[in-house]
Amino acid sequence: MTTPDTVVNVGADLLADAVADQAVPVTRVDWRPPMEGTAADLAVVAADPRRHAANERALAAMLGVTATLVDVLPASEALGLEPGQFLHAGPPIGWDRAPGPLRGALMGGAALEGLVADPEDAAALFESGTGVSLEPCHHRSAVGPMAGVVTPSMWLFVLEDPATGRRSYCSLNEGLGKVLRYGAYSPEVITRLRWMGDVLGPLLQRAVRTVRDSDAGPVDVTGILTQMLQMGDEAHNRNRAGTLMLLRDLSPAMVGAIGSSGVPVADVAEALRFIGANDHFFLNLAMPACKLALDAARGIDGSTMVVAMARNGTDFGIQVAGTGDEWFTGPAQLADGLFLGDYGPEDANPDIGDSAITETAGIGGFAMATAPAIVRFVGGSVPDALATTRRMHEITLGENPRWSVPVLEFQGTPTGIDVTMVCRTGILPQINTGMAGRLAGVGQVGAGLVNPPAEIFPKALARLAELVPGRHTS
Amino acid sequence: MSTPDPTHVELRPGAYADSVTLLQVSRVVQGLAGVLAAQVAMATPLNIEVLTGMGFEVPAQAGPNDLVVALRLEDADALAAALAGVDQALRDANRRDDGAAVVAPPRTTASALRRSADTSGHDAVALVSVPGAHAFVEAMDAVEAGRDVMVFSDNVPLDQELALKRAAAERGVLVMGPDCGTAVIDGVGLGFANVVTPGPVGIVAASGTGCQQLLALLDHAGVGVTSALGVGGRDLSAEVRGLATREALRRLDEDPAVELIVLISKPPAADVTAEIEEYAASLATPVELALLGPGRPDLTAAAEAVLRRLGRDVPAWPVDRPAGSRPVSPGALRGLFVGGTLASEAALVASELLGEGGGHTFVDFGDDEYTTGRAHPMIDPSIRLEHLARAAADPATGVLLLDVVLGHGAEPDPAESLAPALAGVEQPVVVAVVGTAGDPQGRDRQVRALVDAGAEVHLSNAGATRRAIELLGETR
């Protein structure tokens, strides 16, 4: 036997003291009872002989993915989306339970597609359900920020994992304030979307294809994420550096389109101005990059790793590697944060959007330490930001060697949320988010920090426990 | 009549703060007395839209590099205080908090092992004592990290023990427990462990206090113990079949410092005994089986067998007698124990000498029946002290027999509360003080205090029991 160089003590402090008295270093676990009602399921899942290897496999699969920007296409082409088909953020939901911002975005989307002349007329259309259908972005390898509404004519970024050819999709970011994804549908919102469809989308397609087909190859979105995390972005609420790096990579080809494709100079200038003025433009690349990586871990039996966290403004849902496509849902929470203008908590809609895919992949709130400015959304301090990232390591399976946090000695971001660890510690994933107005048409009212509803993790755990082979049912 | 509330809009060119800071500043300023609405923001197009929506008129020359301070006040007199508030909020937003970022402790065994692996802990061991319903999950963390684990917790379901030990066997990890009270790993004591010098003996024990008795006796005889590995009371059951015992035997066999391995256990099922004997025979190091039970040697006899096998002399086990003697009146033997194995050993010795019946009792206050909702009596003596007082007041009590177990983990000074209690007892008292001179409580000091209180103190629990029976016999 070799002398223990450390004793990890979990339980009675007195036993730790007895070891410390022998001059042996002791690491004391701050153990607390698990979430209520989870002890039996935790034991069943812990005993699942598949779990450890399955989680290693899920984590490795996710970390093995790189996302490259290979195309920009209308949703009708990229996903075969038909007129009347609408994608939305979060787990499945119908019009009857859809919250204000999602309704507003759907109404604006219906107007954009010409299904109605006036967005206000769309409510009746969705109520009747005739000729319209709603489906989560996640069910189509896509993600959408906030309301996440995608219609056939909207242009999407197409990301691809070069190793497998798998793809993921996300819309183009409209900017902040009164925008469709926050539920606004005023004429200026529709006008902007039309410009994005007529000018920005086709121009980006030319530029992205030119870059893709050049010697340099397609824009490496995963690589930009690596760099931006070292430049103060956490890639959810802060995407400044990422947006500028994307501009750096695309603008020569955008300008080149003036000569090669006869795109008007004014259009290129306007597109460059639009992207450069929108600090969140890169968010819509960060999200599908995370989606692409996490989808690689889906369907691994026995794995307790979360592969999606998403909200539709009414429900917060998670999906887990070992439970197939099942959603585990609970009520979406209100964010704690700061409000624009006169808006206050009573104006805010509960948490909405697929953007929590960033936290699911270990960035956003999980990488708070690398973007300390974000913590001020709740009046926190820089030590709070460091503590948040460290805390997320308590509920994750590993670290991302690509995405590291300089101020934490380049420790990798906490990656692969483990349902069992959430249930054991009661530590909930920390999500950075924007806040949409509660009423359709309002738009953004603030930004802040939010957590999932705690009960969805015990729900997922219970299902994982049911799926353990040979489990004794009594 | 009503006049519009006074507003104040001010541009501060060249002042910059990020939007998050400014949202925070705005919130602070909105909360100031006399302020109805406030927005402090960079004059970006979006913010100008917000400000306009709030009813402020933003000067046309405002640009994105200008800071706008826009206030709506209850009356104009509030302006100076409000502006001072804006400045203060801007300063506060940039305050520096020099408080050191304290790293929060790990919340799970997995996290703790991961952290320790980053620094030194390449030979980390986990020690689990959370409530039994939760122990398995923590212990699995250690097994999956390839670390040996001692499970002090009791009430761990058998199927969980099996799952834990099967997973451990696949990885060559040692699981000590569940319900393992004592281990010494290459000189480091875990749980309730006595301080002994390293030496030629290695112990595998399915019993905590049985192991401690052996450690104490061998220490007194001058024979050191390198490691004593607990395996839990169920390890040699027909279900678990010695999964941990095999691993413990293998580890001790590999240790060049170990010349003789002693396996202490209640007698396992016959087929399990055969399996373990077969495994033991395959090892290079000799294994002494000390199986406790009716018709078998007690712990002291086992220690003596070990000494003889090592070619050492068997010493006279120490007995310390009080100055005077107490009168013995007819009655029963009352055994009040903190050590489970010590209690059953005493009961066994007594039944061999006295036969069944006679009203003699041997209570283990470490049993689940007494420990629910309270600490083990080796840590918290109160329950035994209560029962001691009751037994002493009972006219049916002839002789009192107790154990005191010393070592790491046990209460720092057991004699402190026990000696005064014994001093007031009328019946003869015999105590087995199981410990070594090196124990933190100091065996000599403990023995002195108990002897001064009128107790007769033995090192051997079997010896103490025989003496108590002898005293009882004096009345016959």
Enumerate the residues of chain A whose CB falls inside 8 A of the CB of residue B46: 175-177
| 3-class secondary-structure state, position B167 | helix
CATH of domain A68-286: 3.90.1710.10
User: Are A49 and B110 in contact (CB < 8 Å)?
Assistant: no
Q: Which residues have a Cβ under 8 Å from the Cβ of B134 and sit 6 or more positions away?
A: A31, A33, A34, A39, A42, B153
Span B294-320, mean pLDDT? 96
The answer to whether A391 contacts chain B (CB < 8 Å) is yes
Which range, A304-313, B39-48, B88-97, B319-328, is most confident? A304-313
> Domain for residue B1, yes or no?
no
Q: What percent of chain A has pLDDT over 90?
A: 89
Specify whether B162 is located in the same domain as B288. yes
> Domain for residue B290, yes or no?
yes
User: Are A425 and B123 in contact (CB < 8 Å)?
Assistant: no
User: Are A376 and B107 in contact (CB < 8 Å)?
Assistant: no
E-assigned strand segments in B186-304: 188-191, 201-205, 225-230, 260-265, 287-291
Span A156-165, mean pLDDT? 98
Cβ proximity of A361 and A293 under 8 Å: yes
DSSP letter assigned to residue A342: T
Q: Measure CB to CB from residue A29 to each of B23, B105, B140 and give the nearest one.
A: B105
**Predicted pLDDT of residue B12:** 87
Enumerate the residues of chain B whose CB falls inside 8 A of the CB of residue A434: none
Q: Annotate B88-151 with three-state secondary structure.
A: HHHHHHCCCCCCCCCCCCCCCHHHHHHHHHHCCCCCEEEEECCCHHHHHHHHHHHHHCCCCEEE
> Domain for residue B468, yes or no?
yes
Span B342-358, mean pLDDT? 90
What's the domain count of chain B? 3
Enumerate the residues of chain B whose CB falls inside 8 A of the CB of residue A9: 126-127, 129
Whether the per-residue pLDDT at B474 is higher than 80: the answer is no
Q: What percent of chain B has pLDDT over 90?
A: 71
Q: Pick B391 or B90 by higher pLDDT.
A: B391
Specify whether B389 is located in the same domain as B450. yes
Q: Which range, of A415-429, B154-168, B343-357, averages the lowest pLDDT? A: B343-357
Q: Pick A80 or B34 by higher pLDDT.
A: A80
The residue of B30, B103, B116, B125 whose CB has the most chain A CBs within 10 angstroms, and thus the best one to mutate to test that interface, is B125
Q: Do A51-59+298-466 and A68-286 come out as alike in CATH topology?
A: no
> Domain for residue B100, yes or no?
no
Span A418-429, mean pLDDT? 98
Task: Grade residue B214 by pLDDT with cuts at 50, 70 and 90.
Answer: very high
Cβ proximity of A253 and A206 under 8 Å: yes
Span B90-95, mean pLDDT? 73
CATH number at residue B256: 3.40.50.261
Enumerate the residues of chain B whose CB falls inside 8 A of the CB of residue A472: 159
Query: How far off is chain A from B106, nearest CA to CA, in Å?
Result: 5
Q: Which range, of A18-22, A368-372, B369-373, averages the lowest pLDDT? A: B369-373
Whether the per-residue pLDDT at A447 is higher than 90: the answer is no
User: pLDDT tens, A310-346?
Assistant: 999 999 999 999 999 999 999 999 998 888 889 999 9
Specify whether B295 is located in the same domain as B408. no
**Predicted pLDDT of residue A300:** 98
| Cis omega (within 30 of 0) for bond into B381 | no
Span A266-291, mean pLDDT? 97
Domain limit, last residue, from B38, B59, B93: B93
Token digits of residue A7: 């004793």
What span, in angstroms and rounded, lies between the C-alpha atoms of B300 and B72? 89
CATH number at residue B17: 3.30.70
Cβ proximity of B333 and B355 under 8 Å: no
Of A27, A36, A65, A162, the closest CA to residue A361 belongs to A65
**Predicted pLDDT of residue A15:** 93
The answer to whether A381 contacts chain B (CB < 8 Å) is yes
The CATH-assigned architecture of domain A51-59+298-466 is: Alpha-Beta Complex (3.90)
> Domain for residue B54, yes or no?
yes
Q: Which residues have a Cβ under 8 Å from the Cβ of B41 and sit 6 or more positions away?
A: B19, B22, B26, B47, B50, B51, B67, B68, B70
Enumerate the residues of chain A whose CB falls inside 8 A of the CB of residue B176: none
Token digits of residue B195: 């301080």
Specify whether B66 is located in the same domain as B23. yes
Specify whether B409 is located in the same domain as B348. yes
Of A142, A76, A132, the closest CA to residue A106 belongs to A132
Mean confidence (pLDDT) of chain B: 91
**Predicted pLDDT of residue A1:** 81
By CB neighbour count within 10 A (0-12 exposed, 13-18 middle, 19+ buried), where does B179 fall? buried
User: Are B97 and A382 in contact (CB < 8 Å)?
Assistant: yes
User: Are A10 and B122 in contact (CB < 8 Å)?
Assistant: no
Task: Grade residue A472 by pLDDT with cuts at 50, 70 and 90.
Answer: low
Whether the per-residue pLDDT at A243 is higher than 80: the answer is yes
Enumerate the residues of chain A whose CB falls inside 8 A of the CB of residue B65: none
The ranges assigned to domains in chain A are 1-28, 51-59+298-466, 68-286
Q: Measure CB to CB from residue A30 to each of B54, B106, B125 and give the nearest one.
A: B106
User: Are A6 and B160 in contact (CB < 8 Å)?
Assistant: no
What span, in angstroms and rounded, lies between the C-alpha atoms of B365 and A66? 61
Pairing of strands A133-136, A85-88: parallel
198-227 in chain B: CB under 8 A from chain A:
226-227
**Predicted pLDDT of residue B355:** 84
**Predicted pLDDT of residue B358:** 82
**Predicted pLDDT of residue B98:** 47
Span A361-390, mean pLDDT? 86
Span B271-282, mean pLDDT? 95
**Predicted pLDDT of residue B94:** 63
Q: Measure CB to CB from residue B20 to each of A46, A342, A373 and give the nearest one.
A: A373
Specify whether B264 is located in the same domain as B369. no
> Domain for residue B102, yes or no?
no
151-190 in chain B: CB under 8 A from chain A:
152-153, 157, 159-160, 163, 167, 185-190
What span, in angstroms and rounded, lies between the C-alpha atoms of B295 and B350? 12
For B256, the domain range is 109-309
User: pLDDT tens, B123-150?
Assistant: 899 999 999 999 999 999 999 999 999 9
Helix (H) or strand (E) holding B423: helix B414-423
> Domain for residue B99, yes or no?
no
Mean confidence (pLDDT) of chain A: 95
The answer to whether B36 contacts chain A (CB < 8 Å) is no
Token digits of residue A151: 């219609």
The answer to whether B285 contacts chain A (CB < 8 Å) is no
Partners of residue A347 on adjacent β-strands? none
The answer to whether A177 contacts chain B (CB < 8 Å) is yes
Enumerate the residues of chain B whose CB falls inside 8 A of the CB of residue A424: 107-108, 137
Nearest residue in chain A measured CA to CA from B110:
A394
Model pTM score: 0.88
What span, in angstroms and rounded, lies between the C-alpha atoms of A222 and B203? 55
User: Are A34 and B191 in contact (CB < 8 Å)?
Assistant: no
> Domain for residue B74, yes or no?
yes
What span, in angstroms and rounded, lies between the C-alpha atoms of A126 and A103? 9
Specify whether B333 is located in the same domain as B388. yes
Domain limit, last residue, from B309, B342, B364: B309
Whether the per-residue pLDDT at A473 is higher than 60: the answer is no
Nearest residue in chain A measured CA to CA from B182:
A15
The answer to whether B372 contacts chain A (CB < 8 Å) is no
What span, in angstroms and rounded, lies between the C-alpha atoms of A136 and A150? 10
